[in-house]
Structure 1
Amino acid sequence: MAPFRHCLAPLAATLALIGGAAASAATISGPYVSLGAGYNILQDTRTFFPAGTINPGPSKRTYRWGEGFDAAGAAGWGFGNGLRLEVEGSNFYNTVNNRVHSGVPSRTTGNADAYGAMVNVLYDVDLARFGLAVPITPFIGAGVGYQWNHLSPLTSVSGDGAPIDAAVSRVGGTNGSFAYQGIVGAAYDIAALPGLAITAEYRFLGTDDETESAYHVQNVNAFGRREGPVFFGDRFNHSVMLGVRYAFDTAPPPPPPPPVVPAAPPAEARTYLVFFDWDRSDLTPRAREIVAQAAQASTHVQTTRIEVNGYTDNSSIHGGVRGARYNMGLSIRRAQSVKAELIRDGVPGSAIDIHGYGETHPLVATGPNTREPQNRRVEIILH
């Protein structure tokens, strides 16, 4: 399999084009796909040569690796509560630097090309639960699967030039083994393209000892040619990736709540209704008049507390879970606008309590995603 170093340039260009304004961080609910590429470091790999392959007796060597590139693609499902399950295919490419512990100086060339499939379980950390309204979602995960490793061949030339010392050793072949990995990363949501996110992550990938299957080694020196098996130990890979992820929000919008008959307010309470344009939280001239009436009434009766409650209809510029979350924030902004106007009209801010209820408690029951003017309101209640 060819290395993925050429994936980095188009990926970087894509990230530059879409890295515009931030969106609110959202939990994935439904299917998604992702693609990433980056740089990796493969740790030194120990090998075992049985007797008669490169030496009369058994011997050990260690291969050190140079630059590495990797890429991965995945398809998965988000359960709406932070948990995700995905199937991933990946490729890791590394050149070899040298072979050590051979007793004589040597020069080594070649590369290792690993590829395989993993099943990952991940968890997205919703920072909103900690009071952080940012478009970034950290995540952690772990996976298991199977990886194949192909050596093209690792050719070591050793000796000082004298015929009795010169030797050429070639190790090649393909073997597979059980693999496991840990993942730590973060996703940055793009406001202009809902569902699209930039991802950055660190991965640790390990493969099981390959002592049950061998690569092939051929050793040629002044005494002739020897061939036989060579066994590789565990492989450990550290990787940093940048990528993109797209989530398809297929969850249907929640059904409209059943009609709610507001409880009759106490006799001493008085209610004023302020209505808003769709997806707006600023006050219209008519709305300012109603707020002024409420402020004036609060000075004419014995008012101990003023309750300001914000609501929206069940339509939104977003869909599904994101839409309900967006409307909750919109209802709070509407209540804040009314409170600010009451204070400008002379009402003490300490006497005002504000609440946002989003799409709940509509005045008019509607079907899903319906723009209903009477549900886009703020209730001012004088207690």
Structure 2
Amino acid sequence: MRKLAVTLALATTALSTPALARDDAWYVGVEGGAMLVEDIDWDVGAAIDSTTVDHRAGFDVGGTVGYDLGVVRLEAEVGYRAANVTGLRSTTTIPFVNGAGATVFAPGGSYDYAGGRTSALSFMVNALWDFGDDDGVQGFVGPGLGVARVKSRLALNTNGDALDDSDTVVAWQAVAGVRAPISDNIDVSLKYRFFNAPGVELVDIAGRQWYGRFRSHSIMGGLTFNFGAPEPEPVVPTPEPTPAPTYTPPPEQPPVAQPIQCTPGPYIVFFDWDKSDITPEAASILDNAISNYQNCGNSQVMLAGHADRSGSASYNVGLSQRRADATKAYLSGRGISDGVISTEAFGESRPRVETADGVRELQNRRVEIMYGPGSGQ
């Protein structure tokens, strides 16, 4: 168990891609990995715990179909696990088929040359609790309940099997792991599974009943495809520029030339979620601001970057600075000198629309531009 904990801790460090919300979406997944079967102690007839079967490491594979409710995911799972027998120890007799084809009994003892295979085909329903920030690796843990068809085949020689039977029983499991996205719709995961199928009843070739349980421990890697797509951003119409007031001179007076007004803003441009790219809508607003700037001389320009509350506070400060820097690059690339432009990142501290923590809000993902007398002070 200590090795399993270390493996999960390393995976948490390695899978550092920001997580994407999968709420209210269907998903499908495949998984596979290594498995260790606990020694199976069989009651043979009236002899309690008389036969112990050892296995080498095996494999565990499966597929899932589920629905993400938010904090909790519900999924249906089909799994198959198997491991080969490496030997058995028994205090009672073991039947086998001799060279003449007759069923005889070997005395109790250790049979390191015994062979065979034990497998379990399961159909489970899992309830998984997700925890962790949306902008980091997410952990999950939960139980599962279902049925399993456990099959065991044991032999002391190549002439025939001493036991070759199967039984379907109620099974349960416990799952824990971590997951992280590698694209908008695909997640990778690493998980540990403890699987338990008690109350297995089999019959050997001599007609004796074998009673025991199947338990295994698995470390599995998985790949999940999420059908949900990120929510589309609302379309915000480009605000029309405010027309400058016109002056009508008195009829008896000659026309008086009016000075051109400096319109300092603010001009507001919005950004896609977790992005600092200038959108076509934002470019239109910035072009209008650049045009009006020509009426303000060489005034100072102040860019204030902001973010919504869907990420951590420290991450949002950096994101709002990148948005301000992208806006500055756009302005300086179209004739406004770098020397008159100042930037400041406010992160999520000055929302335009008040929201709860973790909520995506387009109007809070913005940069505000001000210039003219007193700007940038």
TM superposition score normalised by structure 1:
0.60
In structure 2, C-alpha distance between the alignment counterparts of 1:294 and 1:380, rounded to whole Å: 16
Pairing partner for 1:229 from 209, 214, 226: 209
Alignment of structure 1 residues 62-77 onto 2, 5 Å: 62-77=52-67
Instruction: Report Cα offsets for 1:337-365 as digits up to 9, x if no partner.
Output: 5589999646887xx4624699976xxxx
CA 1:49–1:24: 2 relative to 1, 3 Å = same
Kindly indicate whether the alpha-carbon contact (under 8 Å) linking 1:140 and 1:184 is maintained by their aligned counterparts in 2: yes
Q: Tell me, in whole angstroms, the C-alpha distance in 1 between the residues paired with 2:132 and 2:368.
A: 31
Query: Aligned equivalents of 1:179 and 1:110: distance in 2?
Result: 23
State the match for 1:84 in structure 2: 73
Alignment partners' CA distance in 1, 2:33 and 2:141 = 18
Query: What does the per-residue CA deviation read over 1:231-261, in whole Å, with 9 as the maximum and x for residues that have no partner?
Result: 11x322011112211000168658779xxxx
> Offset at 1:44?
0.2
% same residue: 22
Distance 1:82 1:290 in 2: 49
Give the aligned partner of residue 39 of structure 1.
Answer: 34
Letter in 2 for 1:172: D
Secondary structure of 2:109's counterpart equals coil
Cα separation, 1, equivalents of 2:82 and 2:58: 5
Q: Is the 8 A contact 1:281 1:333 kept in 2?
A: no
Q: Which amino acid aligns with 1:189?
A: P
1:104–1:359 Cα change, 3 Å = same
- Residue of structure 1 in register with 2:228 after alignment: 249
1:375–1:100 Cα change, 3 Å: closer
Query: Are residues 255 and 121 of structure 1, via their aligned partners in 2, closer, same or farther at CA, if it must alter by over 3 Å?
Result: farther
Distance across 2 between alignment mates of 1:252 and 1:376: 15
Paired residues of 2:35 and 2:58 also in contact (CA < 8 A): yes
One of 102, 114, 119 as aligned partner of 2:120: 114
Q: Distance in 1 between matches of 2:297 and 2:175?
A: 56
Deviation at 1:124, TM superposition (A): 2.6
Instruction: Report what 1:216 is aligned to.
Output: 203
Give the alignment partner of residue 50 of structure 2, picking from 57, 60, 71: 60
1:67 CA drift (Å):
2.8
Structure 2 stretches of 5 or more lacking a match? 1-14, 92-107, 237-263, 354-361
Partner of 2:110: 105
Which whole-Å CA distance do the structure 2 matches of 1:337 and 1:200 have between them? Answer: 37
Note the alpha carbon deviations across 1:19-61, whole angstroms, 9 max, x for none.
Answer: xx9863112121000001111110101111124xxxxx76711
* Equivalent in 122, 125, 141 of residue 131 of structure 2: 125
What is the deviation of 1:187?
Answer: 2.1
Aligned residues: CA RMSD: 4.9
User: Of 172, 180, 199, which residue of structure 1 is paired with 2:189?
Assistant: 199
The SS at the match of 2:75 is strand
**Equivalent residues of 2:73, 2:128 under 8 A apart:** yes
- Counterpart Cα distance in 1 of 2:71 and 2:342: 42
Q: What's the secondary structure of 1:333's corresponding residue?
A: helix
Unpaired segments of 5 or more residues in structure 1? 1-20, 52-56, 158-166, 219-225, 258-269, 299-305, 313-320, 362-371
Deviations 1:173-225 (A, max 9, x none): 1112222212222223123xx20122222111112233xxx21123xxxxxxx
* SS state at 2:322 partner: helix
- CA–CA separation in structure 2 for the residues paired with 1:294 and 1:208: 84
Answer with 1 or 2: which has the greater Rg: 2
Query: Secondary structure in 1 aligned to 2:20?
Result: coil
